Structure 1
Amino acid sequence: MKIKVYSPLNPLLKKYIESIYILTHTSEERPAKYITFPSIFTIVSISEKSKTINKGNKLIIRQCDENKIETNLVSNFNKPVYVQYEGEINEITIYFKPLAISSFLKHELSHYNSSGFSEFSPFEDYRKAMIEILSLQSDTEKIQAVESYWLSKLTGFQHNFLETVLSEIMCEENAALTIEELCKKNAISRTTLNKHFGRHICKTPSQFKKILRFRNAVNKYSSDNAGKKLTDIAYGVDYFDQSHMIREFKSVTGFSPKVFFKKTTALEKKQIHWLFL
């Protein structure tokens, strides 16, 4: 299995898309098996001639020549997921930044989110366009075509408070702020915030904050300049103490931080962390 991660080429899309990766798996290779972990991003994937068997937190993606394309959305990604690739696979996956995909969609994100791994076809021309993109030969052509397509759907998004609250949650200086304090600061109720997070991000604010802390810890651990002491990482990313970090890591990943960092593999300049089996 080969995977290559790209940053958006178009400057405008950098505001909305964190990264795009292209994954290929040949029919001669043994099945690729790994565990992937919760993310704050909204994930959109397209795969050529494949069929996915969805068993809760287990996805088996198999070559299926009769099925021209699979198009999927992952937005309420809160627990580890086992993934297995079998046969020839040609896949493109886009990581949209939190709330960013709303600038392209006609409806709220929850409208498209029917399950943890939802079929996703947000526009009339989507499947046809994605089939054409996957048929392109070079990665560069594919990336350019994907970006061009999504740029053509950019309409913008405005919300009374979500963008502000999300920005405050993600700001390191506000890491210690509780959800209640954020609500008070923005003059909204916890119930209202939960409702709008559910509609547009498909997570609760508490889930989002927990996953954000986890991802910040992973990034800090992976940083070339960071020390490897878990205590330092814990205090650096808004855990109360190391015990708090251990509890949340087990909740999000199923592993303690020590075991997680020992077992996972960092790919593509440490942009992806998977546990290969």
Structure 2
Amino acid sequence: MSSLPPEPADRRTPAAADATAGHHDDAAPAHRAEPAFGGQRLDLWLQILVVLGVSVGASALWSVLSLAEVATTTGIADSQATMNRAMSASPVFDVLRQVLTIVLAFVPVVLALYFLAGSAGQLRTVVRRIGLDFTAPLPDVALGALLFLVMGLGTLGLYQAGRALGITAELTTNAGGTEWWNILLLLAQALRHSLVEEVIVVAFLADRLLRVGWSWPMVLIGTALLRGSYHLYQGIGPALGNVVMGLVFLWIYRRTGRIMPLVIAHFLLDAVGFLAGAWFFG
């Protein structure tokens, strides 16, 4: 950050200067030039780039690369996509690594909320503004459960259709154990994915894209395609399912102004998928 420009030279008489000596630091000048970081539009694009670069944007790039590699080598139909695999042969270090991964994944969420708030003191305000609170528990849970049922059935149907057409990888949602601590970790992973995706892709990205001049249809399509892109490692079927999910979720957010129903629905989708994936996707 650049420093403020120097104050203009003191043109007062020595007597006037002596009379006010020791007091000019007590009050800020009425008008002070602010450091220039470029136009507001550039600042907003930089915020978008930074948040996506440390979260779902990076995941999208890796996912596209993974799909391209599979498509040109083994083929999508014969490939496997594995989630929640063990991170160490030692159970203790496996748990520690997974906990650290989950905790660090929340950093981009805090960054996105901080950019939306503009200051640390306004974080609570922006959390309430986007509906990431517990002020409407019954409507949030009811809508979240409904979205879970509809999107869950649709996702399962697209997965099975994709497998039959050879455009979807065989999905393993839990490559770890079934011990009680692994179940807790899977639930924590589900919470991680739901918060990261809904706060960043819906609340943050929609706000910033609208501010840089995108129309609502552009935001709707752009965020939905982004959501699908970072699921491409699973194949075409799940990616298409997530595009539809992105369209529906952002439409719901625009109508309700609350992110919590989307977080609940996403958490339920992932939690059930992670804990009962072998039964659904086997």
TM-score (norm 1): 0.21
Structure with more strand by fraction: 1
TM-score (norm 2): 0.21
